[in-house]
Amino acid sequence: MPELPEVETIVRKLRPQLLDRIVQEADLRWSRTLAFPSAKKFRGLIKGQEIREVTRRAKFFILRLSDLSLLIHLRMSGDLFIKDSKIGPEKHDRLILKLSGNNSLIFNDTRKFGRVWLTANPEEVLGRLGPEPLSRSFTSKWLHTALHGKQRQLKPLLLDQTFLAGLGNIYADEALHIAKLHPLAASDSITAREAEALHAAVRKVLKEGIRRNGASIDWVYRGGEFQNYFRVYDREGKPCPTCGTSIQRITVGQRGTHFCPTCQMR
């Protein structure tokens, strides 16, 4: 699943191609891609809307339109790209927005998990999300207090989008290794100093991920190179870059989790 750095990379790539374009027509090719409103209402409302801002919140791709906002969550296999409107649709294209300038914005989603919302109030969809980890509101003091407000294992809590928005499996593993924290540690056992280390690590791996255009580890998202700099993720049996101990893989909250048993002692 594309995480915050991958979504941010897509936003930065598409922004100059989408700004000031007018939506001329919406071709919804799989109705369940649309979470809200109805297909008929969607086609009527989005036609003629001008794209005024292209941004992101957590893992959501957001188009601010003349009167509304279009939110897209890529989920497991979604992708967004621009192509010439004269080129016909592909098998897994779920939504095609034909734009002024003879281009189309394509939402392609092989597994059909991705969803689209058209709303006048984005907070109806985004309101429960936690703080952005690269925002000013995400501080080490906030993190320490928030961790102690829960009684959960550390990694599943970091992946909870209502706790912290945008962090996913790859970047959680990488941040926990840098901070020298075990993924199964109790959140309310984290000291203030450990929270400072985790705060710095989360911001470091996300910024590095964005700088390297995200991580390309499967057929869904391509173009990034952060996978060449993984410390622990997907490196089971390989030496830890810090101490040389073999990286281990366990399952935490139904997610494959990679860590160094020496650097990240429980």
Question: Which 3 state secondary structure label does DSSP give 5?
Answer: helix
**CA 212 and chain centroid, separation:** 15
Amino acid at residue number 194: E
Closest to 183 in 3D by CA, of 258, 111, 85, 87: 258
- Tell me which of 43, 152, 249, 255 is the catalytic residue: 255
Q: Residue 27: enclosing H or E segment and its boundaries?
A: strand 23-28
Residue 2 a catalytic site member: yes
**Does 25 participate in catalysis according to the annotation?**
no
Q: Per the residue annotation, which of 3, 6, 174, 194 is the catalytic one? A: 3
Strand partners, 186: 153
Integer angstrom CA distances of residue 121 from 107, 117, 127, 187, 188 = 22, 10, 10, 33, 35
Q: Is 180 a catalytic residue?
A: no
Token pair listed for 1: 């699943």
Of the residues 59, 94, 155, 235, only one is catalytic, namely 59
Cross-strand bridge partners of residue 69: 64, 119
Active site residue 5: no
- From the list 201, 229, 236, the residue with the least C-alpha distance to 215 is 229
Could you list the active site residues? 2-3, 59, 255
